[in-house]
A and B are shown apart, each in its own frame.
Chain A
């Protein structure tokens, strides 16, 4: 594994080197709150030489599929090789969302920064949600 994604200004992705081990992050992560109204679940998969995250927003009767975006991976310290956090940028047209995440004690903490771009009057807003690993990587391949 030697490639990843790095975001430039405005979320434009450019390829850079990646050397982190990703097993801690790959798989499906489900919101710890069954009644969540934000993000219902995330799925991280390895696609070719990059890691992508697929987000599902809470919805009824089915969650909303945001599609995939590249994830940039990070370790806890400069000398460690196990990825324990990631960032991703989701441009959905009428809104864009930065996800800044980290794993602590087996819980994926997802902090979101949402900006609306549709003139609806909705405010940019901050969110923080918690996820448990509901499926290992092999189960979602």
Chain B
């Protein structure tokens, strides 16, 4: 079994139990803990079997109100032995910019890192930028 990090060796040399990652822990609506955010205001996650679909919404001024819905590129468990999905990486193409998203669940929060890449001639005045925001479940409001 090939590896390029010590931690990627499986203990006892055995294969992990095969299986798919369940994304159900993400299901539902998530609201930014900062009600005045200029960025992402709401994230809605739904599952279709073991497929996760995520929809992002912005404040409608500095960010589009609806980013659309995407399927993440990669769902990840907390470790190499598997378990429920607790993180994902994906991307949105908003036309004027592309946004790479990394999200993970941590202590009841969804932590989202977003990397915004400008795609048009406004790039002269707007640099690519990074943001990190925190979301709680909407039913906890």
Chain A interfacial positions (CB closer than 8 Å to B): 4, 6-7, 9-10, 16-20, 37-39, 57-60, 64, 66, 72-81, 84-85, 87, 92, 94-95, 98, 100, 102, 111, 113-115, 118, 120-126, 128
Asked whether, in the complex, the Cβ of A37 is within 8 Å of the Cβ of B129, the reply is: no
Tell me which residues across on chain A come within 8 A of B78, comparing CB atoms.
Answer: 125-126
B89 pairs with A98, CB closer than 8 A: yes
B83 close to chain A: CB less than 8 A? yes
Given contacts A16-B123, A20-B127, A20-B128, 15 further A-B contacts (CB under 8 A): A7-B100, A19-B123, A64-B4, A64-B5, A73-B128, A102-B113, A102-B132, A111-B113, A113-B76, A121-B15, A121-B16, A121-B18, A123-B80, A124-B76, A125-B80
Whether the Cβ atoms of A123 and B74 lie closer than 8 Å is: no
Closest to A20 in B: B127
Q: Name the distance in Å between B27's Cβ and chain A's nearest Cβ.
A: 18
Are B127 and A123 within 8 A (Cβ)? no
Interface residues of B (CB under 8 A from A): 1-8, 10, 15-19, 21, 73-83, 86-89, 91, 98, 100, 102, 104, 113, 115-117, 119, 123-130, 132
- Per the bound structure, the CA–CA distance linking A74 and B127 in Å amounts to 7
List the B side residues contacting A18 at CB < 8 Å: 128
15 inter-chain pairs at a CB distance below 8 angstroms, sorted by A residue, are A57-B5, A57-B8, A60-B6, A72-B115, A78-B129, A84-B130, A100-B89, A102-B132, A113-B88, A114-B80, A122-B15, A122-B16, A123-B16, A123-B76, A124-B21
Contact B4 A92 (CB under 8 A): yes
CB neighbours of A64 from chain B (8 A): 3-5
Q: Which B residues touch A10, using CB under 8 A?
A: 73
> A39 near B5 (CB under 8 angstroms)?
yes
A120 touches B15 (CB 8 A): yes
Q: How far is the CB of A101 from chain B (nearest CB, A)?
A: 9
Whether B8 lies near A74 (C-beta < 8 A) is no
Which 6 A-B pairs give the minimum distances between C-beta atoms? A121-B15, A123-B82, A57-B5, A37-B7, A126-B87, A74-B130
**Which B residues touch A17, using CB under 8 A?**
123
Q: Which single residue of chain A is at the shortest CB-CB distance from B98?
A: A6
On whether the beta carbons of B115 and A123 are closer than 8 Å, the reply is no
Q: Is B2 within 8 A of A124, CB to CB?
A: no
Closest chain A residue to B1, Cβ basis: A120
Residues of B within 8 A of A94 (CB): 2
Contacts of B2 in A (CB 8 A): 94, 118
